[in-house]
Structures are given as structure tokens and as C-alpha cells.
């Protein structure tokens, strides 16, 4: 998206918000810290403008990120009437597939604005107003820019939500897409009232593992395969494990970062077999997570992506992941 189109769509968002009474905020069906905190921050931004804000989440928020203030106000039903929809942090229709299946007609009947920072993406099946810039490290950071452009005031509560959105998607301001502007956005939020110590303490408390989960982590790590001369770390998690543990702690989140940081690994992939649905989580050191996810119609960042296959066989998906990774690595070398 060029800068002129971006600026025009930001102004269009401002006009749509001015004219709206009830605003629906959507996020991916599998929320993460950036999508969740961006949703919650929008509630404050729009609420302070006098708007009624309805925050929709198809799935329950995972327990390790459900500690943010406002999570209890998420709903799983659409309001009877709304004037505008804002969809945050969503790079592919896959990420809201069940929502579209159930509500596409109603969503398409009203203006829908996408606020996102994913460079690899697939458009929705109807017209949208896109405010998308992959140069931002997180959707939370992009919200700061939009708020400044539209003179929306960020209160302390919103600032305290923007910070974890940014910190999560940058792994603590350490990823390659972290810029001086990203760091400045965090500093600005601290000046507005975000408390870094309190936010980090809450994150650590929510993510703390009980002994059974730690044992599971050890078991999963023992099952990791190292393929393509050690450049691909691959793990398949079966339906029995997912049924028993997924609501308590996502097995992919439990191990994928450890897999990624094994010496020599360029891409870590966790295949979660929900039978028949299969979900992929990809984290990479080389910029190949998004290209591999795209093979499965998924999307995300060059170094953090995901995909959902509505029905498939784990062995077939495994073989396809290996082939796609091999091709993506070859393309990195060629370029």
C-alpha cells in the first residue's frame, strides 16, 4: 500500500467512526497478544470518542493471555445492529474462516476497515478499506500512528495495552522489524502511564507452567525432528495431546521458540493435528515463515506465520512442509 492510499484510508476511517454509533471490532479466531491487545485498546480509543464498542471473539482467549483488563467484555455473538466493523491483525481470511462462514453477509453489508501490519496476506472475499503497513512491527504500533493522525487520545489504559501488543510481536524489541519508531512508540506509551514492570510481572504470572505442563514440554521437545541438514525443526502434535492440554497451554506456543533457537535451525514448524483440521505454527530465523505458510494459504510475517488446513493427513502435510521449506531456503540463497 502506497503512502497516499494509506493516508486516504486513515482519513476515511476517521469519517466512518465519526458517523458510526456502534462499532464492531473483530480479531483472528485464534487471538494472540497483538490482536487481543489491539482490540482492547480500540475499545478505549473509540469509547472515549463516545462510540459503543462491541468486541467479538469467535474462540475463547487462551489462558496465558487472558489476564488483560477488558477480556471479560469480549462476546461471541454479533450485535443486532452495528454501523462499522474494524478487523485487526488479520492477514488471511483463514484466520476468521468460521466467522465468515457464519456472518459474512452481515459483515459485507457494512463498511469494514482492516488495520494490520502483515506483509503476506490474502484479501477478504468482499470489499474492504485497508490500512495496512508492513513496516510497523505490530498492529499495536500501527494504532499509535492512526491515533496520532486522527487526533484520537490514548489514555493510560490504552497505552498499557499497546505496549504488550508491541512487545509480543517483537519478542521484546528484538526482531529485525523493530525500528527506532517502534522503540519510541513504547517510550511514548510509558509516558502516558504504561508500567513496564507491572506488565512484565503480569505476563510472567499468566504464562507460568505447572509441573505437568513442564513435563509435557520436555516430552514434546524429545519428539522434534531435525531435517534438511538441521535447518528445519519439525514437530507433529497429535489429537490426544491437543484434546488434553490445548485449552490449558497451546503446545505450539510451549515449544516453537525453543525449536527456533536450536543452533543451525532456520525454520521451526509445529503441526497440530486436530483431526481432520490441521494447524501450522511457523517461526523462522531466515525470512521464510510466510512463504512456507503461503503454500497452505496461510500468512503472517517473514519470521512468524501460521496456516489452517480444514482437512488433511499429517504425513501429507509434513511432506509438503519439508518440500516448501527446501524451496524457500533455496530462494533465500539465490537472492
Report residue 6 as a C-alpha cell: 494509506
Same domain, 199 and 225: no
* Mean pLDDT score of the chain: 94
Give the residue from 111, 120, 168 showing the smallest Cα distance to 140: 168
Query: Of 269, 294, 299, 296, nearest to 284 (Cα)?
Result: 269
**Residues 275-304: pLDDT tens digits?**
999 999 999 999 999 999 999 988 888 888
| β-strand pairing of 112-116 with 129-132 | parallel
Per-residue pLDDT tens for 170-200?
A: 989 988 889 999 999 999 999 999 999 999 9
What are the backbone angles phi and psi of residue 69, rounded to the nearest 5°? -60, 130
Residue 151 CA to residue 32 CA, distance in Å, equals: 27
**pLDDT digits 0-9 by tens, 79-119:** 999 999 999 999 889 889 999 999 999 999 999 999 999 87
Q: Give the residue among 131, 154, 117 at the shortest CA–CA distance from 43.
A: 154
Q: What is the DSSP letter of 94?
A: G
- pLDDT confidence of residue 207: 83
pTM of this structure: 0.86
| Domain around 281 | 211-334
How many domains does the chain contain in total? 2
Query: CA-CA-CA-CA torsion for 294, 296, 298, 304, nearest 10 degrees?
Result: -70
Residue 230 shares a structural domain with residue 185: no
Closest among 146, 150, 148, 118 to 132, alpha carbons compared? 118
d(C-alpha 327, C-alpha 92), whole Å? 22
Between CA 64 and CA 205 the distance in angstroms is 9
Give the rounded distance of the alpha carbon of 176 from its chain centre: 17
The b-or-e profile of 66-80 (16+ CB within 10 A means b, else e) is: eebebbeebeeebee
- Tell me, yes or no, whether 199 and 291 share the same domain: no
What's the CATH code of the domain at 294?
3.10.310.30
247 and 200 in a single domain? The answer is: no
- Final residue in a domain of this structure, among 184, 204, 224: 204
Amino acid at each position: 500500500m502506497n503512502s497516499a492510499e494509506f493516508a486516504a484510508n486513515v482519513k476515511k476511517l476517521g469519517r466512518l467512526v465519526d458517523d458510526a454509533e456502534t462499532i464492531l471490532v473483530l480479531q483472528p479466531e485464534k487471538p494472540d497478544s497483538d490482536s487481543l491487545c489491539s482490540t482492547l485498546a480500540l475499545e478505549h480509543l473509540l469509547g472515549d470518542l463516545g462510540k459503543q464498542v462491541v468486541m467479538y471473539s469467535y474462540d475463547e482467549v487462551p489462558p496465558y493471555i487472558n489476564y488483560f483488563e477488558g477480556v471479560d467484555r469480549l462476546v461471541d455473538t454479533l450485535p443486532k445492529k452495528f454501523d462499522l466493523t474494524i478487523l485487526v491483525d488479520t492477514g488471511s481470511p483463514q484466520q476468521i474462516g468460521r466467522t465468515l462462514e457464519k456472518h459474512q453477509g452481515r459483515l459485507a453489508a457494512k463498511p469494514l476497515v482492516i488495520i494490520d501490519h502483515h506483509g503476506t496476506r490474502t484479501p477478504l472475499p468482499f470489499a474492504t478499506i485497508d490500512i495496512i503497513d508492513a513496516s510497523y512491527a505490530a498492529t499495536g504500533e500501527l494504532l499509535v500512528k492512526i491515533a496520532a493522525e486522527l487526533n484520537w487520545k490514548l489514555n493510560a489504559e490504552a497505552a498499557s495495552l499497546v505496549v504488550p501488543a508491541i512487545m509480543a510481536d517483537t519478542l521484546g524489541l528484538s526482531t529485525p522489524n523493530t525500528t527506532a519508531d517502534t522503540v519510541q512508540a513504547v517510550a511514548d506509551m510509558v509516558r502516558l502511564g504504561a508500567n513496564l514492570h507491572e506488565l512484565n510481572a503480569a505476563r510472567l504470572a499468566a504464562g507460568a507452567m505447572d509441573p505437568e505442563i513442564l513435563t509435557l514440554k520436555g516430552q514434546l521437545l524429545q519428539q522434534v525432528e531435525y531435517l534438511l541438514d538441521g535447518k528445519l525443526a519439525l514437530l507433529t502434535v497429535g489429537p490426544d495431546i491437543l484434546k488434553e492440554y490445548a485449552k490449558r497451554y497451546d503446545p505450539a506456543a510451549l515449544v516453537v521458540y525453543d525449536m527456533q533457537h536450536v543452533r543451525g535451525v532456520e525454520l521451526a514448524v509445529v503441526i497440530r493435528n486436530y483431526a481432520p483440521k490441521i494447524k501450522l505454527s511457523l517461526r523462522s530465523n531466515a525470512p521464510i515463515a510466510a512463504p512456507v505458510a503461503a503454500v497452505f494459504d496461510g500468512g503472517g510475517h517473514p519470521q512468524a506465520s501460521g496456516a489452517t488446513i480444514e482437512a488433511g493427513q499429517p504425513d501429507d502435510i509434513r511432506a509438503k512442509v519439508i518440500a516448501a521449506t527446501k524451496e524457500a531456503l533455496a530462494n533465500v540463497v539465490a537472492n
